[in-house]
């Protein structure tokens, strides 16, 4: 039987105190056509030294050895960073010992009076290790890819907040300032004009300008909420009242305290979660009532935004363009929190953010005072 590992000979460490049994094992392997190199040892010290200094594909071990057993050798060797497959090759061993050894991680067992199976068991043990190693490498690569994806997502979220802050500042300072100047000039023209037609056009322009100013203020609030400077409770309450005013949907807000202390990064995540949840409700829920609950019980900030609308099917979360809700989950992870989205008895949807209230090491841009 050719080696399944590669064209090179299988490297075997044989823990055996009988030279005759060692020769019989070699003969059985040769008769199977297996290419191998084998080294025999019969002391614990030499066995461990060879494992640590050499590279072996498999260990064959008699059960009873002078002063110790194969199971003790397995227990000792399993503490090493990497131990090869371990196959018991013995005759003087009870079934209970075999079961105990296999339960503890020994690969397989071959009786000395059935050496015809030895080559097959050796190859099977090596192949099983290869599959396990391949799975571990695959899992490690996947974990690394997930880690890098998470880091990229965190970086992008941070850059988004930076861009929001920059845009809010530009809209407030540049566009807001220009609109205010235009309003001042139009008001001056209106006061000094004697022609009714001119005054009518000026008043129309002033009305349009007021809409433009209101729109720029809403943009600033959406980009970077300065109301967070007044605290998270005040900010969420403002969102609720503003949502009810814009949509006509009855919206109630309840907080466990008038003031809830939390790091700026967590406050921003909670605010954005409420903001995105209300945006989705306005677009899709077709509901009559919305409730928002905020609490800091037992050291965990919890925000729940629930509606009595048509519900959010699970498949909707898996859509390629469902970036809003997926982005909320990424935001939650950035502050060591988590996000749950569920239907409530088939009616309505509840979005629940939970974040432990401990210091967060990831700074989020856009929370500095006076950004807008």
Say how many domains are in the chain. 2
Short-list 359, 341, 351, CA closest to 299: 359
- Tell me what pLDDT residue 365 has: 42
Q: Which residue has the tokens 């060591």?
A: 336
Is 110 part of any domain?
Answer: yes
- Tell me what pLDDT residue 362 has: 45
Whether residues 127 and 256 share a domain: the answer is no
Last residue within a domain, chosen from 91, 113, 137: 137
CATH number of the domain within which 341 lies: 3.30.565.10
C-beta of residue 341 within 8 angstroms of C-beta of residue 158: no
Q: What is d(CA 15, CA 56) in angstroms, rounded to the nearest whole number?
A: 12
Q: What is d(CA 127, CA 288) in angstroms, rounded to the nearest whole number?
A: 62
Q: Helix, strand, or coil here: 125?
A: helix
Q: pLDDT digits over 272-299, tens only?
A: 899 999 998 998 888 999 999 999 998 9
- Tell me what pLDDT residue 214 has: 82
Q: Determine the structural domain holding residue 237 and report its residue range.
A: 226-372
Last residue within a domain, chosen from 89, 118, 137: 137
C-beta of residue 108 within 8 angstroms of C-beta of residue 124: yes
CA dist 370 → 163, 181, 230 (Å): 15, 22, 12
| Beta-strand runs (E) in 10-70 | 10-15, 36-41, 58-61, 64-65, 68-69
C-beta of residue 70 within 8 angstroms of C-beta of residue 15: yes
- Tell me what pLDDT residue 19 has: 95
Q: What is d(CA 28, CA 46) in angstroms, rounded to the nearest whole number?
A: 25
Q: Which residue has the tokens 């003969």?
A: 27
- Tell me what pLDDT residue 316 has: 58
Is 191 part of any domain?
Answer: no
Whether residues 120 and 236 share a domain: the answer is no
Whether residues 122 and 236 share a domain: the answer is no
Residue 58: phi and psi, rounded to 5, are: -160, 150
Q: How many residues does the chain have?
A: 372
Is 275 part of any domain?
Answer: yes
Whether residues 336 and 236 share a domain: the answer is yes
CATH number of the domain within which 72 lies: 3.40.50.2300
Q: What is d(CA 168, CA 372) in angstroms, rounded to the nearest whole number?
A: 6
List of the chain residues with pLDDT < 70: 1-7, 154, 157, 224, 312-325, 344-346, 359-372
Q: What is d(CA 25, CA 256) in angstroms, rounded to the nearest whole number?
A: 74
Is 173 part of any domain?
Answer: no
- Tell me what pLDDT residue 370 has: 35
Instruction: For residue 98, give both structure tokens.
Output: 């075999």
Is 151 part of any domain?
Answer: no
Is 203 part of any domain?
Answer: no
Is 156 part of any domain?
Answer: no
Q: What is d(CA 348, CA 74) in angstroms, rounded to the nearest whole number?
A: 57
Whether residues 133 and 230 share a domain: the answer is no
Whether residues 133 and 240 share a domain: the answer is no
- Enter the DSSP assignment of 91: S
Last residue within a domain, chosen from 137, 152, 187: 137
Is 206 part of any domain?
Answer: no
């Amino acid at each position: 039987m050719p080696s399944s590992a590669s064209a090179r000979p299988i490297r075997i460490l044989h823990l055996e105190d009988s030279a005759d049994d060692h020769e019989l094992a070699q003969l059985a392997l040769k008769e199977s056509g297996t290419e191998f190199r084998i080294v025999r040892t019969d002391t614990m010290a030499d066995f461990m030294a060879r494992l640590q200094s050499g590279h072996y594909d498999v260990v064959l071990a008699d059960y009873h050895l002078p002063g110790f057993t194969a199971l003790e050798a397995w227990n000792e060797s399993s503490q090493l960073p990497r131990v090869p497959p371990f196959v018991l090759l013995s005759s003087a061993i009870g079934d209970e010992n075999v079961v105990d050894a296999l339960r503890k991680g020994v690969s397989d067992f071959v009786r000395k009076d059935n050496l015809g199976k030895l080559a097959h068991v050796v190859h099977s043990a090596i192949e099983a290790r290869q599959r396990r190693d391949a799975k571990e490498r695959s899992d490690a690569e996947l974990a690394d890819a997930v880690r890098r994806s998470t880091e990229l997502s965190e970086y992008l979220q941070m850059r988004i907040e930076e861009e929001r802050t920059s845009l809010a500042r530009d809209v407030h300072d540049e566009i807001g300032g220009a609109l205010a100047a235009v309003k001042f000039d139009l008001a001056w023209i209106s006061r000094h004009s004697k022609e009714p037609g001119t005054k009518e056009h000026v008043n129309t322009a002033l009305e349009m300008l007021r809409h433009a100013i209101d729109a720029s203020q809403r943009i600033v609030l959406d980009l970077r909420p300065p109301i967070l400077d007044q605290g998270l409770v005040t900010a969420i309450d403002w969102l609720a009242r503003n949502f009810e005013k814009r949509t006509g949907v009855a919206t109630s807000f309840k907080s466990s305290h008038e003031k809830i202390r939390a790091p700026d990064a967590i406050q921003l995540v909670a605010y954005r979660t409420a903001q995105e949840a209300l945006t989705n409700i306005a677009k899709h829920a077709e509901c009559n009532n919305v409730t928002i609950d905020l609490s800091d019980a037992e050291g965990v900030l919890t925000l729940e935004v629930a509606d009595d609308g048509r519900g959010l099917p699970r498949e909707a979360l898996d859509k390629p363009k469902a970036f809003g809700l997926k982005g909320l989950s990424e935001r939650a992870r950035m502050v060591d929190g988590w996000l749950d989205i569920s239907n409530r008895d088939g009616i309505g949807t509840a979005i629940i953010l939970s974040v432990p209230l401990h210091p967060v090491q990831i700074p989020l841009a856009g929370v500095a005072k006076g950004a807008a």
